[in-house]
Amino acid sequence: MDQLFATFGINWKLFTMQMVNFGLLLWVLWKFVYTPVLAMIDQRREEIAEGVRKAEAADRRLAEADLEGKSLVAAAGKEGESLVAAARARADEKATEIVKTAEAKAAAALSDATARAGEAKRKALQESEKEIARAAMLAAEKILAHK
């Protein structure tokens, strides 16, 4: 074996020390650089996934609020229509004054329901925007903190 090393001009003691140093360097890099970087990457991946889940949940809540608002408007429309129909049925039997009062009540109910639906939708949109902005700020802070 010594003859083989001598043929290639390799000092086996120096070669052994270099192998030990390389192994030690490899271990130090693995322990103090590679493992923490992998942990940091996994943490970032989890944070990003959490942000995506929160954004999707906010989208679902927004869609639900929009659907609820539309159903409130539809219910208010149906309620208004039924009040108007009832008022018209009574108007055939009663005087014009009763008809005007019933139509005013129907319009007020429709207006109130529309206002409530608009307010619910506006609140849901604001909440979703705040959640998305907060998630974006957290992600930006994490990115800037790591740089």
User: How do the pLDDT tens digits run along the chain, 147 residues long?
Assistant: 778 777 888 888 888 999 999 999 999 999 999 999 999 999 999 999 999 999 999 999 999 999 999 998 899 888 888 888 888 877 778 778 888 998 999 999 999 999 999 999 999 999 999 999 999 988 898 888 887
pLDDT of residue 93: 80
- Which amino acid is located at 44 in the chain? R
Measure Cα distances from 132 to 1, 12, 53 in Å.
68, 63, 11
User: Using CB atoms within 10 A of its CB, is residue 90 exposed (0-12), middle (13-18) or buried (19+)?
Assistant: middle
CA distance 121 to 70: 9
pLDDT of residue 97: 87
DSSP string, 118-133: HHHHHHHHHHHHHHHH
Tokens of residue 82, six digits = 């039924």
CA distance 62 to 73: 16
Report if pTM > 0.85.
no
Domain ranges in the chain are 2-146
